Chain A
Amino acid sequence: MDWLTDNYVNILRGFGETLRLLGASGALALVLGTLVALARVSPVPILRGVGTFYVTIFRNTPLLVLILIAYYGLPEIGIDFGFFINISLAMGTYTAAFVAEAIRSGFNGVPLGQAEAARAIGMPFMTSMSQVVLPQAFRLVVPPMASVYIALTKNTSLAATFGIAEATFRMRGLFNDYASQMIQIFVGISLGYILIVAVISWIATAFERRWAVA
């Protein structure tokens, strides 16, 4: 177990970096994904088109390709925030497509009559969304959203290939130094990911309880 005892600080730093990636791309995905979902159900045809286009492009492009574009392509055209942010942009925009679809499924789960009643008392589209539809949709959205964020947690490991010293990157370093303890290292790092995912699931359950309707 000396791989662990001698390196736990670095391993923790690695998971810290994993969490930073998760936080940055996850926050972007939540904001952008909500906007895209609103666009997809908006009464304005152009917005619906833009939303559908976004989801089609970003959901159907492999994440690795998006990261390659963000890592090598964007700096070429002058968009260079450093590779951590550029990679987070790729992960965030990719995950936003899945967030948008999860939220849209939540919208569809709220009976149409709720939005009609909101419009009938004179609420403009955004007010009826924020006051009536979204609060009810969020509850339905929690389970699929948890799945999206669990997938994102694991997807952050792709960043190892691009020199971000997150958990998987550290794991590969340890393989070189402790070749005879590979299995233990595998299991140990996996447990770290499982712990993060368990926390996400726990948060999801807490939200579901809190937003329960009679």
Chain B
Amino acid sequence: MVDTATPMVAMRGVQKWFGELHVLQDIDFEVAAGEVVVVIGPSGSGKSTLCRTINRLETIDEGTIEVDGKKLPAEGKQLAELRADVGMVFQSFNLFAHKTVLENVTLGPIKVRGAKKSDAEKRAHELLERVGVEAQAAKLPAQLSGGQQQRVAIARALAMDPKVMLFDEPTSALDPEMIKEVLDTMIDLAKGGMTMIVVTHEMGFARTAADRVVFMSDGRIVEENTPEEFFTNPRSDRAKDFLGKILKH
């Protein structure tokens, strides 16, 4: 499953500052095609920023980022084309508030890929079926629960046939009983071979679905390992400290 030839995402020597704050420091990070990488760490560690630089929602100050062997272009048409291949799921869902669920999923294929409306709708219905919200297709996002909205957001990203999916704390804004339905959808995706980079606090997801766990602290990647090794035998003090805080309730 994991193809090591060309990494799907490669970050090399990446630095980013927010004013005085050095939010990304010496980031060297690769994700192979088909790999599921979970990024964890305390809040403010730069993990969301890292995720957002990969489709250039955040710019970087130094270093390079490549997606499927192609360097991230600057603002413009080529950047838009690259973003179409990189799916993104946000903490706050960000469904288009004035469009129905179905339109949310068809808008990208129609306006960006130039798909025919009938084809896009057929595909959208399949995807909504797959994430289990087909019955809500005609509703506006505000009429859905948070868990349903997030699953629509996943369908919206999948409709673009992305090469890699970015998840920026996809369950952090959800009520506890809705977290599972979103995680189950993500686990299905992971099993299906999707390349995924997931910023999350859900350690259960990391254990179940991740090929690799990346631990960040103060803008640096401190530790990378398999979930099994990382959770049972963390090497760095910061990782031990972090796991100690979150795993012992």
Contact string against B for A residues 107-118, beta-carbon threshold 8 Å, 1 for contact and 0 otherwise: 000010110111
**Residues of chain B lying within 8 A (CB to CB) of residue A111:** 92, 94
Closest chain-A Cβ to B54's Cβ sits at a distance in Å of 11
**Residues of chain B lying within 8 A (CB to CB) of residue A136:** 97-98
Per the 8 Å Cβ criterion, residues 48-106 of B in contact with A are 55, 57, 75-77, 80-88, 90, 92-98
Contact partner, A121, options B77, B84, B93, B97, Cβ 8 Å: B84
Interfacial residues, chain A to chain B (CB-CB below 8 A): 43, 111, 113-114, 116-124, 127, 131-132, 135-136, 211, 213-214
**Is the beta-carbon distance between A131 and B111 smaller than 8 angstroms?**
yes
Asked if B108 CB lies within 8 Å of chain A CBs, one says yes
**Is the beta-carbon distance between B111 and A127 smaller than 8 angstroms?**
yes
**Is the beta-carbon distance between B75 and A122 smaller than 8 angstroms?**
no
Report the Cα distance A9→B143, complex, angstroms: 54
Contact partner, B140, options A127, A211, A213, Cβ 8 Å: A213
Per the 8 Å Cβ criterion, residues 116-156 of B in contact with A are 140, 142-143, 153, 156
- 15 extra A-B contacts, CB within 8 A, seeds A131-B107, A213-B140: A43-B75, A113-B90, A117-B90, A120-B90, A121-B87, A121-B88, A121-B108, A122-B84, A122-B85, A122-B108, A127-B111, A127-B112, A132-B96, A132-B107, A214-B140
Asked if B36 CB lies within 8 Å of chain A CBs, one says no
**Is the beta-carbon distance between B97 and A124 smaller than 8 angstroms?**
no
CB contact under 8 A between A120 and B92, given known A213-B97, A213-B98, A214-B143: no
**Is the beta-carbon distance between B83 and A119 smaller than 8 angstroms?**
yes
Interfacial residues, chain B to chain A (CB-CB below 8 A): 55, 57, 75-77, 80-88, 90, 92-98, 107-108, 111-112, 140, 142-143, 153, 156-157, 160
**Is the beta-carbon distance between A116 and B90 smaller than 8 angstroms?**
yes
**Is the beta-carbon distance between A121 and B83 smaller than 8 angstroms?**
yes
Report the Cα distance A2→B204, complex, angstroms: 87
Closest chain-A Cβ to B183's Cβ sits at a distance in Å of 21
Contact partner, B96, options A43, A117, A122, Cβ 8 Å: A117
Contact partner, A119, options B80, B153, B157, B160, Cβ 8 Å: B80
**Is the beta-carbon distance between B77 and A124 smaller than 8 angstroms?**
yes
**Residues of chain B lying within 8 A (CB to CB) of residue A117:** 88, 90, 94-96, 153, 156
**Residues of chain B lying within 8 A (CB to CB) of residue A121:** 83-84, 87-88, 107-108, 112, 156-157, 160
**Residues of chain B lying within 8 A (CB to CB) of residue A123:** 80, 108, 111-112
**Residues of chain B lying within 8 A (CB to CB) of residue A214:** 140, 142-143
**Residues of chain A lying within 8 A (CB to CB) of residue B98:** 132, 135-136, 211, 213
**Is the beta-carbon distance between A114 and B97 smaller than 8 angstroms?**
yes
**Residues of chain B lying within 8 A (CB to CB) of residue A120:** 55, 57, 83, 86-88, 90, 157
**Is the beta-carbon distance between B140 and A122 smaller than 8 angstroms?**
no
Contact partner, B92, options A113, A119, A132, Cβ 8 Å: A113
Report the Cα distance A111→B88, complex, angstroms: 17
**Residues of chain A lying within 8 A (CB to CB) of residue B93:** 113
Report the Cα distance A122→B55, complex, angstroms: 10
Report the Cα distance A118→B85, complex, angstroms: 13
**Residues of chain B lying within 8 A (CB to CB) of residue A132:** 96, 98, 107
